[in-house]
Structure 1
Amino acid sequence: MKLVGTIVSVLMILLGVIWILQGANLLGGSFMSGQSQWLYIGIVLALAGAVLLYWLRRPGALRR
């Protein structure tokens, strides 16, 4: 379970970074390029992924 959560959180971070770059118009070729809403959505997604990754990697996580 911890491995799956780690993979999901890393994918969330990567997708968030891609959306940030597209929203900031630094990565073109998409309908999302230059749209500031994707910048903000990417920030939220990347932060959520980082929080999830931190929560999963802390000592004693998912241990009952």
Structure 2
Amino acid sequence: MRWVWAGIGVLLVLSGLVWTLQGLDVLGGSVMSGDLTWAVIGPITAVVGLALTWFGLRKRGS
């Protein structure tokens, strides 16, 4: 089950990165391009993804 959390986390990090770049108008070709709302939502999503990835990959204590 931990690998599922890690996988979801990685997907959230990648999505957050793309959303941030689109919000900052670095990546074009989308309705989200140039919309600063996505420049805020993207990093938040990426941080949540990092937390889920860390949770999924950490070793359990014995």
TM-score by length of 2: 0.91
What is the aligned partner in structure 1 of residue 56 from structure 2?
56
State the superposition RMSD in angstroms: 1.5
Return the structure number with greater relative CO, CA threshold 8 A, min gap 6. Answer: 2
Letter in 2 for 1:16: G
Deviation digits for residues 6-33 of structure 1, max 9, x if unmatched?
A: 1110000000000000000000000000
Distance 1:54 1:7 in 2: 11
Structure 1: any 5+ residue segments left out of the alignment? none
**Percent sequence identity over aligned pairs:** 39
- Given that 2:5 and 2:55 are in contact with CA atoms closer than 8 Å, whether structure 1 keeps it comes out as no
Pairs aligned (count): 62
Deviation at 1:51, TM superposition (A): 1.0
Q: Runs in 1 of length 4+ with deviation above 6 angstroms?
A: none
